[in-house]
């Protein structure tokens, strides 16, 4: 079997340095664009739809990514060597399949494999089949079936819309009244449309959460360092759930626990993909809850996390252009990591997550190699002023030999930003008991 499909210096099969198209527009995609633009295998990065912060590193392409014919055409005309799909929606929509049908290489799973993220019910059945530890759950499809299923549960009740709901599909309900109203929102008000036609009522797992991401071809995998996201809006984990207000990596946990997560969750998941003949070339990202030292899978994502990516890519020593290209060909390269720590602070817009305020002027300081700003929801006003244009607006990333120094650098850069009403957490990475768990 010929395994390596690039030349040793990361060029494509014809010996050229490569052109890559990144799909997406957030902070995760800015992190991907930055790393790919720094890769010695890559000659040019295109990004669609991108954001204004990426202009120096990539050519921004305006296309409707739901129009697969247009995306395929762009790749063929511009001789794109491979496409990296950032967000879940185009994956669940089958963009990877449309590209592969035209022999365009893709870093991203097939539509079938993306169901692991696109349907919580599909994922739960898959976990059970694979013998992956996870919370017990029932499938419900009405207020009545939810309330009946709840009779065998205890508070808090966890109701999860089956389909994609922009990260808002999980309700954690303190009592039966709250559960009833969450079920009414889903099944009667249909706030998520078809994505909420069915749901899981899941048993509560009380513990602490971490994220594990692995690069996989559906047969082999390479785990990235663990990361910790901070999902609540405010310090001390209060306020509403968000897409993620900041991340730290590597998250240090006992080696035995890390091995257990690999053995009990990752290995059986990848083995099941193989059994089910899923075409998976990309990232499997598992949300894990650790309860009394035992890991349980909360959910699968079939893409890089945002903002996990911002702190994971800088820890990889390999040439990322080459790693991603090889995986788009079905080969998982062995990864090596530096011994650094990475820290990411999210600046969210005033009013996030409920009532995002756009068009707020922003002033940002200059980047350095080890402390820099990635753009998520930014735009330029007609007179060229940087303004907020989304919920999570900026990511302040710092890398250093020590966790404490990375943290100091990130907060020092963060202090120089002018952005009225911005929201950020001041306690990121301060869960010492979790970071140092033995």
Residue selected from 29, 97, 258, 308 as contacting ligand GLY according to rule CB under 6 A: 308
- 305 binds ligand GLY, rule: CB under 6 A: yes
Rg (CA), the chain: 21
Measure the CA–CA gap between 37 and 354, rounded to whole angstroms.
Answer: 34
Backbone angles phi, psi at 14, to 5 degrees: -85, -5
Closer to ligand AMP at the Cβ: 123 or 326? 123
Strand partners, 171: 159
- 299 binds ligand AMP, rule: CB under 6 A: yes
370: partner contacted, choices ligand GLY, ligand AMP, none (Cβ within 5-8 A by kind):
none
Measure the CA–CA gap between 417 and 438, rounded to whole angstroms.
Answer: 37
409: partner contacted, choices ligand AMP, ligand GLY, none (Cβ within 5-8 A by kind):
none
- 229 binds ligand GLY, rule: CB under 6 A: yes
Chain positions 170 to 199 lying near ligand AMP, rule: CB under 6 A, are 170
Measure the CA–CA gap between 121 and 70, rounded to whole angstroms.
Answer: 32
Other C-beta atoms closer than 10 Å to the C-beta of 388 total 28
- 158 binds ligand AMP, rule: CB under 6 A: yes
Residue selected from 22, 47, 58, 135 as contacting ligand AMP according to rule CB under 6 A: 135
Q: How far apart are the first and last CA of the chain?
A: 42
285: left (phi over 0), alpha (psi -120 to 50) or beta: beta
Q: Please give the angle made by the CA atoms of 221, 226 and 229, to the nearest 5 degrees.
A: 125
- 290 binds ligand AMP, rule: CB under 6 A: no
Strand partners, 83: 21, 106
What minimum distance in Å lies between the beta carbon of 260 and ligand AMP? 18
Residue selected from 162, 202, 319, 333 as contacting ligand AMP according to rule CB under 6 A: 202
Other C-beta atoms closer than 10 Å to the C-beta of 91 total 29
- 233 binds ligand AMP, rule: CB under 6 A: no
- 29 binds ligand GLY, rule: CB under 6 A: no
- 117 binds ligand GLY, rule: CB under 6 A: no
Residues near ligand AMP (CB under 6 A) are 135, 158, 160, 170, 202, 204-205, 209, 231, 287, 289, 298-299
């Amino acid at each position: 079997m010929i395994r390596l499909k690039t030349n040793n210096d990361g060029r494509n099969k014809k010996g050229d340095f490569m052109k890559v198209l990144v799909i997406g527009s957030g902070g995760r995609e800015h992190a991907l664009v930055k790393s790919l633009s720094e890769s010695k295998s890559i000659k040019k990065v295109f990004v669609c739809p991108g954001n204004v912060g990426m202009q120096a590193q990539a050519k921004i392409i305006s296309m409707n990514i739901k129009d697969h014919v247009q995306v395929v055409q762009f790749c063929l005309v511009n001789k794109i060597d491979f496409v990296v799909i950032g967000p879940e929606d185009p994956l669940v929509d089958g963009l990877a399949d449309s590209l592969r049908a035209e022999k365009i290489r893709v870093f991203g799973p097939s539509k079938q494999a993306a169901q692991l993220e696109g349907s919580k019910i599909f994922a739960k059945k898959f976990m059970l089949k694979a013998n992956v530890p996870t919370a017990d759950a029932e499938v419900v499809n009405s207020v009545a079936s939810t309330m009946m299923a709840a009779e065998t549960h205890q508070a808090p009740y966890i109701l999860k819309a089956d389909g994609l709901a922009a990260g808002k599909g999980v309700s954690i309900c303190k009592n039966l009244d709250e559960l009833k109203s969450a079920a009414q929102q889903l099944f009667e008000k249909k706030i998520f449309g078809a994505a909420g036609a069915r749901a899981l009522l899941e048993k509560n797992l009380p513990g602490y959460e971490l994220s594990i991401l692995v690069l996989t071809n559906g047969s082999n995998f390479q785990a990235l360092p663990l990361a910790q996201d901070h999902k609540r809006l405010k310090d001390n984990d209060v306020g509403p759930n968000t897409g993620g207000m900041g991340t730290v990596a590597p998250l240090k946990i006992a080696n035995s626990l890390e091995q257990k997560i690999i053995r009990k969750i990752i290995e059986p998941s990848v083995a099941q993909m193989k059994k089910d003949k899923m075409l998976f070339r990309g990232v499997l990202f598992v949300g894990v809850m650790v309860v009394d030292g035992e890991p349980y899978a909360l959910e699968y994502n079939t893409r890089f996390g945002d903002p996990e990516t911002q702190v994971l890519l800088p820890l990889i020593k390999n040439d990322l252009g080459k790693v991603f290209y090889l995986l788009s060909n079905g080969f998982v390269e062995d990864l090596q990591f530096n011994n650094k720590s990475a820290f990411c602070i999210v600046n969210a817009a005033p009013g996030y997550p409920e009532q995002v305020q756009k068009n707020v002027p922003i002033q940002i300081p200059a980047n350095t190699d080890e402390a820099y700003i990635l753009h998520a929801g930014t735009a330029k006003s007609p007179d060229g002023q940087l303004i907020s244009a989304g919920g999570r607006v900026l990511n302040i990333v710092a890398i250093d030999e020590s966790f404490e120094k990375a943290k100091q650098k990130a907060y020092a850069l963060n202090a120089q930003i002018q952005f009225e009403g911005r929201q950020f957490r001041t306690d990121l990475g301060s869960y010492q008991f979790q970071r140092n768990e033995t």
